Amino acid sequence: MKTLAFALLLATGAIAPVMADSSAAAPYVVKQHYVLGGAGGWDYLSIDPASRHLFIARDDRVMVADANSGKLIGEIPGMQHAHGVALVPTMHRGFVSNGHGDNVTTIDLDTLKSTGHIALSGKDPDAIIYDAVGGQLLTMNGHSNNISVIDPQAGKEVATIAVPGRPEFAVTDGNGHLFLNLEDKGELVRVDLKARKVLDVWALAPCEGPTGLAFDATNQRLFSVCDNNMMIVTDASNGHQVAKLPIGKGPDAVVFDAERHVVLSSNGDGTLTVVHQDSADKYSVLANVSTQKTARTLALDPSTHEVFLVAAHSADKGKPVDGFGVLVVAPH
């Protein structure tokens, strides 16, 4: 995951992006814009739909905002270049990947305080997810080309899984498999979590620099967003590429709203690409809805269908972050 406060990779691509749609017919609109302020870069954000707490990885801390009002509830300090927050409400715990600390910080979701750190052998833990079936945490380690497997109850790393490239975002299928993008190779990997080994490596060409990844469990489809302005749809059962779609520039995250049958890509050029799933293998780009430049990470509340993005007016390298805040985008 590329930290937003430093640079935007607005790559040119083989597919021309759809122009931003600001008309009344746009399928989604920016409903609210809350300014939170504060210094430092940012990366992933996560939402707890039950509490409506929005967790934002903000370099040396985690910001917690009220998704209803946009007010800052609190900040959890002690992070070391935080990348992401995996929420496990059943444990009343959250887990933060620290890229510069090579560890994971545990946080209490009730008190919003740090409760300790889990040391990792993997280097630069970036994306972090919770595998509910296996009851384990998984971090994608960008500088050691492997995955750390963590027992959250014991609070320790129990294994690592080597992968053939730099791992980016990942998803699980609920059946013991992990899928992840290899950003430097333009590939998609399927991992057997029980055997803790790579099963398949699938090419995503012509995708370059795949970052965000989302999953449709019903149709077994994976959605990878790429630096060269495209989304690749892959059959999760066999790696077959079923669709290729134009999206905005500089994507870093993507979500699938199963109830609305839409795929949403957040792009650093200030657009949210809305793709409709017509069928398992057919997709239509509805619009690139105007958001704000640098808004390239997002979280979806599946109950309200709201999409939360974070952005700043200025996030140039070497300069202070100006106007950092949250955008709430909702179906029109």
pLDDT digits (tens, 9 = 90+) for 203-258: 999 999 999 999 999 999 999 999 999 999 999 999 999 999 999 999 999 999 99
Question: Strands 20-21 and 282-290, how do they pair?
Answer: parallel
User: Sign (positive/negative) of CA torsion 22, 36, 84, 102?
Assistant: positive
Q: Among candidates 277, 275, 271, which has minimal Cα distance to 252?
A: 271
Report which secondary-structure segment, H or E, holds 63.
strand 59-66
- Could you tell me which residue, 19 or 145, shows the higher pLDDT? 145
Structure tokens given for 39: 């210094």
Which uninterrupted H or E stretch holds 20? strand 20-21
Q: Are 301 and 252 in contact (CB under 8 A)?
A: no
- Categorize the per-residue pLDDT at 20 as very low, low, confident or very high, splitting at 50, 70 and 90: very low
Q: Is the dihedral of CA 106, 108, 109, 114 positive or negative?
A: negative
pLDDT-derived band at 83 (thresholds 50, 70, 90) equals very high
pTM score: 0.92
User: Would you say residue 5 has pLDDT above 50?
Assistant: no
The pLDDT tens digits of the residues spanning 91-140 come to 999 999 999 999 999 999 999 999 999 999 999 999 999 999 999 999 99
- For tokens 């749809």, the residue is 233
Q: What is the mean pLDDT of residues 168-183?
A: 98
For residues 75 and 274, what is the distance between their CA atoms, to the nearest angstrom? Answer: 32
Q: Measure the CA–CA gap between 14 and 9, rounded to whole angstroms.
A: 15
Rounded-to-integer distance, Cα 97 and Cα 141, Å: 10
* Mean of all residue pLDDT scores within the chain: 92
Among 156, 152, 31, CA closest to 89: 152
Identity of residue 161: I
Closest CA to 55 of 91, 90, 82, 28: 82
How many Å apart are CA 332 and CA 329, to the nearest integer? 9
Residue 85 burial class via C-beta count within 10 angstroms: exposed 0-12, middle 13-18, buried 19 and up = buried
Tell me, what's the pLDDT at 313?
A: 86
Is the peptide bond between 206 and the residue preceding it cis, with omega within 30 degrees of 0?
A: yes
